[in-house]
Structure 1
Amino acid sequence: MAYAEKVYKVRNGVKTKQFTWRAVYKKPDGKMGTRPGFPTARLAKEWGAEQEAAMRAGLWTDPTLGRKKFGEFTREWLAVQKPRGRTTMNRHERLERHILPRWEHTPLVAITWFDVEAWARTLTCARSTTMDSVGLMARIMNGAMDARYIPANPLAGRRLTGLPPDPARQLTDEESWATPEVVLQVSRRLGPWLGLHTLTTAFTGLRWGELVGLHRDNTLVERRQQHDGGVFSCPTLRIDPEVGNLAEYYTRTAEGKRQAVRVLEPPKNPQSARMVDVPPFLALLLDAHLAASPFDYTFCTVTGKWWWRSEWFRYIRPAADGREARPKARGAAVKEAWDPIMPGLTMRLLRHTHDTYQEQVGVRSVLGYEQMGHRYPGIKGTYRHPTPAMRQERLDALQELYERALRNLGWKGVWES
């Protein structure tokens, strides 16, 4: 039963006649909890009784736990999370660069939405990074609430407003996807081995990790479905549900040093484990590539290694952005000058390009979502399914885009013979 007791004030080491009241109540573990500072015995006793009532209802949170520092609880929270490797890296970067410098020593109970939103408006990073950082804080505070450190999460369900303009340059509609002619020009400039990377991404929509993690055994896997009294078949790229994505990220050693990791892991989400239908022209090019390649992974370096993203940039940047001529020098071959084709083109934009192609040629939504590895929204995602006729329409349309681009460029094939 909660009760109140006097707490006399002390001045210069001597107890005075002035006093306040302290609430005393029994905690779930049988120990006595206290909270001082009440002006009257009635208020102290009522507060203690409220704590005991909350315990009986299973809703009580220990007020002392809310004083734990945000940084201390964050380390506890991270220790029990099991996300994908790159997600772990991103969380550490958000915490170390943005969140902990401001909030590490703040008690959990002292964090308010007013202060968090005001802090977010001062960040000079990209808008998406700001929103990711606040979202991560909200998840951590949800963990604190679930662990009964705080009674409620003040960040839950709140939306950031008044953020400053994004410092990154916004791409125009024309810069956000590549025409088929641009894709073919960049691919030819890269050559058959490397150019097949860009060509495949633009005409299948694979993510970078799915592309470079694709094993040759999962390349040109036949899809067979009953259709129109016969069998529909087409070659596909199979994204394995267990090892269908090559992840590249950094971990921390016991000494706190960054350590680079590349490892095959499951795809980003359940929808990403899929079979992507390949148009006829690309199937022929892939078949020839596999016949000439001795390596296990279809899209690898010329020495059969997994790509580092930074290494790939050394090839795609001059191919898309252009370069100056370089004369022959010791240890370096001559390089001809290249005019820009599409400055800023990335593999991510090529994935955007493929979905743009799908929209342009009228691919049915349920099939377009499936091929991109996205979840079809709403109840229709349960009731609607791609049919062989839909698949054939998509493949015919992509084949026509490729052939029309060849005609527009005056080429007979993407690679020079």
Structure 2
Amino acid sequence: MTRQRREFGNIRKRESGRYGASYLGPDGLRRYPGRTFATRADAQAWLALHQTQMRSASWTDPRLGRRKLGDYGGQWIAEHQLSLRTRDLYASLFRLHIDPFLGHLPLDQITTEAVRSWRARLRDQGRSESTVAKSYRLLRAILNTAVDDGRISKNPCRIKGADRENPPERPVASVPEVFMLADRIGPTYRAFVLTAALASLRWGELVALRQRDLDLEAGLIFVRHSMVERGRHLEISQPKNNRTRTVALPGVLVEELKSHLARIPPNPEGPVFTGERGGVPRRGNWRANVRWRDAVKAIGLPDGFRFHDLRHTGNHLAAQTGASTRELMQRMGHSTVRAAMIYQHATDSRSREIADRLDGLIRSQQEVRD
């Protein structure tokens, strides 16, 4: 067996004809690649890579990078402060779309090429564009933490545009359609439907509302909690993005809520909205109970109009008032400017109105000059 001493690290030719290599890390401990190399040049390239990393302060302990993504990703989800709904979403995305394909790989062996192949495979297997984008964003977040933990030197999730979702535009109801839908659904859920649309509340926020969360004299709703369905169990958590907020109500909704509260037993800790038997409305059976599709069809809304599209409608109405992006973020409970900007195009009609008025002004002044 021959041995060659180098300026940085050692290379040893083994009896098998393959080459081993090692070097002393910044902590004085000897590091090995965990494999042998077919040629001396391959061993030299491995040493050169780690030497460059040590000189540029980007070196990471190879032992840390050997942890499997499956273990590390599961721990990442468990340790991060997430709402129950977000935690369930991340756990599902990781279990179904990340772990089966990449979970067996050590963190330091997840390359940009591997990420690109994984993403293409998801798309080839028919995963939706939204699911692929969400899974990519989750993987990137996990590997960002791996960088911070010193397990890898850089994040391999570097595919431009892979984090973007381009879902089809959801339908928006007009104000008359919202009220016709509320009429069709019936008195039990009339205020429920109107609050979803006119206050831009999510389902979980609506069913978690307590009577103490309403200040109808001031025209305010305090969104403090959200109800999460986990199988048959219901759990109270923070609203999405862990952001409590105060929503100012239009007068017409204040009057509707006053009428609604007058019909239920007063109790500050009691729910604002319940089903006909006094229970919490559940997503799974609500549509059937109120014959949602029949009501949607009867007033001429698209067949795919969902309950969440009421919130979508409310967001568009808020944008049409000329509210700033920051104001929209606060009202809707969004944590990013990007989310609120989705609704900025709702002001196009106002922009067109201004342009039409400007056109009229210009033409009138041209006529005076002529």
Q: Shorter chain as normaliser: what TM range?
A: 0.7 to 0.9
Deviations 1:56-105 (A, max 9, x none): 87532133443433223223333322211111111121122222222122
Structure 1 residue aligned with 2:280 = 306
Structure 2 Cα separation of the partners of residues 280 and 27 of structure 1: 69
Structure 2 residue aligned with 1:331 = none
Structure 2 residue aligned with 1:265 = 237
Structure 2 residue aligned with 1:160 = 162
Q: Are 2:258 and 1:287 equivalent residues in the alignment?
A: yes
Structure 1 residue aligned with 2:342 = none
Deviations 1:154-197 (A, max 9, x none): 1046323999xx8x8x45xxx61112222122211222221211
Deviations 1:239-294 (A, max 9, x none): 12xxx22223x4xxxxxxxx554222222236x52222222232222112212212
Deviations 1:293-350 (A, max 9, x none): 126010222333332211222235x234359xxxxxxxxxxxxxx8464233322111
Q: Is the 8 A contact 1:77 1:140 kept in 2?
A: yes
Tell me the TM-score normalized by structure 2. 0.74
Structure 1 residue aligned with 2:359 = none
Moved more, 293-302 or 27-36: 27-36
Query: Which letter does structure 2 place at the counterpart of 1:72?
Result: D
Structure 2 residue aligned with 1:71 = 70
Structure 2 residue aligned with 1:351 = 311
Gaps of 5+ in 2: 1-6, 339-370
Q: 1:189 aligns with which of 184, 192, 203?
A: 184
Q: Secondary structure at the match of 1:292?
A: coil
**Larger proportion of helix:** 2
Deviation of 1:372 (Å): 2.4
Q: Secondary structure at the match of 1:22?
A: strand
Paired residue total: 323
Q: 1:321 aligns with which of 294, 303, 311?
A: 294
Structure 1 Cα separation of the partners of residues 93 and 164 of structure 2: 21
Structure 2 Cα separation of the partners of residues 161 and 213 of structure 1: 31
Q: Is the 8 A contact 1:94 1:133 kept in 2?
A: yes
Q: Is the 8 A contact 1:95 1:133 kept in 2?
A: yes
355 and 43 in structure 1: CA distance in 2 versus 1, 3 angstrom threshold? closer
84 and 365 in structure 1: CA distance in 2 versus 1, 3 angstrom threshold? closer
Query: Which letter does structure 2 place at the counterpart of 1:85?
Result: L
RMSD: 3.5
Structure 1 Cα separation of the partners of residues 174 and 131 of structure 2: 30
Structure 2 residue aligned with 1:22 = 20
Structure 1 residue aligned with 2:364 = none
Structure 1 residue aligned with 2:202 = 207
Q: Are 2:116 and 1:135 equivalent residues in the alignment?
A: no
Gaps of 5+ in 1: 11-18, 223-233, 251-258, 324-337, 379-417
**Larger proportion of strand:** 1
Q: 2:213 aligns with which of 215, 218, 221?
A: 218
Structure 2 Cα separation of the partners of residues 297 and 189 of structure 1: 23
Identity of aligned residues (%): 28
